Structures are given as structure tokens and as C-alpha cells.
Amino acid sequence: FLAAPEIHLYGLLPKIKGRVGGVGWWIFMPFELSDGGVVFVNRGFVPQELKHPSLRPKSLALPSNQVIEGLIRLKELPGQFTPPSDPKTNEWYLRDPAAFAQYDSLEASQAVAPVLIDQISPNKDTLPQPSEGVVHFSNNHLQYAFTWYALALVLVVMTFLFLRKRRKAAEK
């Protein structure tokens, strides 16, 4: 990890699955790759009251060769209600590697990856609490099945009505 200021991305963990949850911050730090490039790594979650790094000295990344296990995440786009990030107070609301690199004043010669990594390897019982590494895919199979069976039923009813009308017209 590079010696650069942490980046604090606002987060909310409504269901506590680890040691901490609630309102807090995801901690991002730049990680120098063996080829000289840089990728921002989400080291994990800290509660609101432990946002400042001096309150959790054991959480500082050690400057050594490390292997990061995690999930690759893409840059986020703002939604209609996403507040603007405030670099002056180090409060971010979007995952944006280019903005993070500008905030950390990384050298222009260092290529910054356009993706981020959510670290899922443990931090040895210290904060930040690593990401749970869960990817949720939408599961709408029941909704799809209901829709298609309803459409099939409508088709059967419409065919029945069409044939009945045709038969009555033929009888006249």
C-alpha cells in the first residue's frame, strides 16, 4: 500500500454480519502493483466514530509485498439523489478511481486502474472490517414464470372467444 491519505466512502451496513455495522465509512487506499500501476483497494468498513485513522492505529496498511484477495468493482455513476463528494472533508459518495487518484496526488506517471478492488481477505481481527464479498444477482424467475403463464392463459382465453364468435357467425 502506498503512503497516501485514506479515502473515506460513506457506507451503511444495515444487517450486521461482521463485528461492526450501521453508519460508517469504507476505507480505500492506493495499492502499487508490481508493474508500477496503482489500483485502489477497499480495505473494509469502519463505524462512524472510528473514521479517523489515529483512532485505529492497528488498521494501517503495512508497506510490504502483499497479495490482495477481492472482487473487482467498476466506477459508480451518480444517481438522482447522490450527494456530491467533498474532498476537503474526505467524504466521498461514489467509487471513482480517477477522483481518488487526484485526491491522493498520485504522480501522473503512475497508471491508475479504472476499477477498484473490494478486499475480502481478513485484516486479522482489526478494523477495517473487510467486505463480505457477496455479489447479489437479481432473481426474478418467479416473476417471469408468473408473467409467461399469465400471457399463455390470456392467449387461451382470447383464442376461445375468437373461435366462439366465429362459430356463432357461421351458424347465422
| 3-class DSSP string for the chain | CCCCCCEEEEEEECCCCCCCCEEEEEEEEEEECCCCCEEEEEEEEEEHHHCCHHHCHHHCCCCCCCCCCEEEEECCCCCCCCCCCECCCCEECCCCHHHHHHHCCCCCCCCEEEEEEEECCCCCCCCCECCCCCCCCCCCHHHHHHHHHHHHHHHHHHHHHHHHHHHHHHHC
Res 125: pLDDT: 65
- Stretch 65-88: mean pLDDT: 88
Q: Which amino acid type is present at position 21?
A: G
Place of cell 417471469: 144
**pLDDT top residue among 101 and 20:** 101
Express each pLDDT in 83-139 by its tens digit.
999 999 999 999 999 899 888 887 666 788 999 999 887 766 678 888 776 667 778
Share of the chain above pLDDT 90, in %: 38
Please give the average per-residue pLDDT across 140-154, as a whole number. 94
Contact (Cβ atoms closer than 8 angstroms) between residue 98 and residue 74: no
User: Does residue 63 register a pLDDT over 60?
Assistant: no
- Quote the mean pLDDT of the chain: 85
CA dist 67 and 73 (Å) reads 17
Answer whether residue 154 shows pLDDT above 80: yes
pLDDT value of position 93 = 95
pTM of the shown model: 0.71
pLDDT band at 5 (very low <50, low <70, confident <90, very high): confident
